[in-house]
Amino acid sequence: MVSTVGDAATLSSQRRFPPYRALPPSSVSRPSPPSHLKTAILGAGVSGLALARFLVEGGHDLDDLTLFEAAPVIGGLCRSKTVDGFTYDVAGGHILFSKDAGVMQWMKDVAGGDEAFVRRDRNTKIRFDDRWVRYPFENGIGDLPKQANFDCLQGYVQAWHERKASGSTAPSDFKSWIRWRFGDGIAEHFMDPYNEKIWKRPLEDITSSWVAGRVPDAPIEDVLRAAIGIETDGYTHQAIFYYPKKGGFQAITDGMGSTLGARIRLSTRVESVVRHGEGWRVNGEDFDRIVSTLPLNELPDIVEGVPDGVAQAMRGLAFNSIVCYLVALDRPEHPNLSWVYLPQRKQGPVNRVTYMSNYAPGNAPEGQTSFLFEVTYPGGAPEPDIALEKEVLAGVETAGLLKRDEILFTDRSTSRYAYVVYDHDLDARRAQSIDWCEANGLHPLGRFGHYDYFNSDQCTIAAKAMAGRLLEVARKG
Ligand SMILES: Cc1cc2nc3c(=O)[nH]c(=O)nc-3n(C[C@H](O)[C@H](O)[C@H](O)COP(=O)(O)OP(=O)(O)OC[C@H]3O[C@@H](n4cnc5c(N)ncnc54)[C@H](O)[C@@H]3O)c2cc1C
């Protein structure tokens, strides 16, 4: 299935699940005797906040918890920003959905319950020349111009036939894997240009190990049907999503933080973590245990005594950054779209466009609308300058999404850590880094804490499991 996720815009069904030892829900909600173990949580994004909430729900004394947050506000990648009445999510449009209904309900409940959310039907398309192509791509090839439709169909059938005839196994690099799985047509018209925009490096440098075996083999009959214009079901995951009525996606993390009060130390960067007896010293203060949601690759500069080999593995973990442009529009109404993908090079550097004002009524003043444009850049590279904004606007204009005279103003936000990059060294580096952390009682958690492709619900699931583990230790100890 050629599909993209709200988050990643890569292949959706390849999500990796972490090797956490998930405990039954009761292990978190069951009250345990107060442990009086002092716990430090590094980072107050959704992972750190959810962990703190689950610990307290499970009986951990709130006064024995401390969250360290470098930013002046909580929320991390889930933050939102409001400018002149227009609200947008700073790290790309975020939606709430989960395969774990219990966790999703918990996330809604901490932020005001069902009443505080709007429910939306996902309507996602791919922009190709001046057309709208159904999503996912292989279910929409009948919407393509005739030559592109033929290229995609021929390549798909050929690749399917070659796989069946040769019994070949999946190639290890992403570029070859795309051709092996989807054929030359889909590779050239969609997968290659689209993924080059996201990953900002040759696709040969990305591994296929995270996709192989996780992408369902779309029945060839469906692709044949799609090519001649018969509608097929396609991708049903995230068919429905939720979004806070007010305050952007950040309303969820604000809700999580609302009962933690002064236990969250804002504008407090963790600069030093030192082993001290059985516990840890964070910025000179003693704790019995520590959970880190800070980017794993930064730990060698913060944690004392990381062995050279492990430090090298951590430092080598690759990531991409993101810059997001809010464009406020003097346009009374958008088409009924959630987000669209821009795979073509002529459409400029943007890979995904969120119809931000369609997410919730609170996201734009009445009678006006907004877009959110996402552009990635390699982690560690200098932040893009104004020239990129010009390219962005020229590209989306070429794609036919807006006219310059509709623009009221623009605003932009950058996030240094946006995407874990699945290069060929990732698995080995991550395993070595996490093994060392766990063996030394420094528990890694979260998207960059654990270096995995998590959405906020998966962060919450992992935080719940982590809380179960810590509470269990406290009960036994
Ligand atoms: C483009 C994009 C789209 C996405 N779309 C969705 C979506 O639609 N739905 C969804 O559920 N998820 C989505 N996600 C994923 C979601 O944003 C993340 O899974 C989640 O926010 C990660 O939370 P975290 O707490 O693990 O990490 P973070 O949010 O990165 O939190 C880490 C925190 O640590 C702090 N910190 C860092 N260094 C230090 C230090 N030295 N000292 C103290 N504090 C420090 C940071 O300031 C930050 O607050 C998307 C992500 C991206 C990039």
CATH number of the domain encompassing residue 422:
3.50.50.60
Q: Is 461 in the pocket of ligand 1 (CB under 6 A)?
A: no
Predicted pLDDT at 11: 30
Predicted pLDDT at 6: 37
What's the domain count of the chain?
2
The structure's pTM equals 0.92
Q: Is 413 in the pocket of ligand 1 (CB under 6 A)?
A: no
Residues 6 or more apart from 313 whose CB is under 8 A from it? Answer: 428, 429, 430, 432, 433
Separation CA 186–CA 201 (nearest Å)? 19
- Any domain includes 3: no
Q: Measuring CA to CA, which residue among 67, 463, 46 is closest to residue 283?
A: 67
The last residue of a domain, from among 227, 247, 264 = 227
Q: Is 70 in the pocket of ligand 1 (CB under 6 A)?
A: yes
The last residue of a domain, from among 195, 227, 259 = 227
Separation CA 401–CA 146 (nearest Å)? 23
- Any domain includes 121: yes
Q: Examine the domain organization and report whether 336 and 258 are in the same domain.
A: yes
Predicted pLDDT at 14: 29
Q: Is 244 in the pocket of ligand 1 (CB under 6 A)?
A: no
Q: Examine the domain organization and report whether 275 and 360 are in the same domain.
A: yes
CB neighbour burial string for 239-250, b if at least 16 within 10 angstroms, e if fewer: eebbbbbebbbb
Q: Examine the domain organization and report whether 49 and 172 are in the same domain.
A: no
In this structure, the residue with its CA closest to atom 51 of ligand 1 is 7
Q: Examine the domain organization and report whether 281 and 313 are in the same domain.
A: yes
Cβ atoms of 263 and 56 within 8 Å: the answer is no
- Any domain includes 12: no
Q: Examine the domain organization and report whether 31 and 62 are in the same domain.
A: yes
Q: Examine the domain organization and report whether 123 and 144 are in the same domain.
A: no
What tokens were used for 170? 């999946």
Q: Examine the domain organization and report whether 222 and 348 are in the same domain.
A: no
Which residue do the tokens 């978190």 mark? Answer: 28
Q: What is the widest separation between alpha-carbon atoms in the chain?
A: 70
Q: Examine the domain organization and report whether 358 and 276 are in the same domain.
A: yes
**Residues in the chain with pLDDT < 70?**
1-35, 212-217, 234-237, 477
- Any domain includes 59: yes
Could you tell which of 293, 303, 321 is best to mutate to test the pocket of ligand 1, judged by most ligand atoms within 8 Å of the CB?
A: 293
Predicted pLDDT at 212: 60
Q: Is 223 in the pocket of ligand 1 (CB under 6 A)?
A: no
- Any domain includes 164: yes
Q: Which domain holds residue 174?
A: 139-227
Predicted pLDDT at 215: 60
Q: Examine the domain organization and report whether 365 and 462 are in the same domain.
A: yes
85 φ, ψ to 5°? 85, 0
Tell how far the Cα of 273 is from the centroid of ligand 1, in angstroms: 21
Predicted pLDDT at 154: 97
Q: Measuring CA to CA, which residue among 433, 339, 385 is closest to residue 7?
A: 339
- Any domain includes 125: yes
The last residue of a domain, from among 189, 205, 227 = 227
Predicted pLDDT at 211: 77
Alpha helices, H only, 167-217: 174-186, 192-199
Q: Examine the domain organization and report whether 475 and 430 are in the same domain.
A: yes
Q: Examine the domain organization and report whether 365 and 276 are in the same domain.
A: yes
Q: Examine the domain organization and report whether 132 and 143 are in the same domain.
A: no
Closest approach atom of ligand 1 to CA 94: 8
- Any domain includes 6: no
Closest approach atom of ligand 1 to CA 374: 1
Predicted pLDDT at 42: 98
Tell how far the Cα of 78 is from the centroid of ligand 1, in angstroms: 6
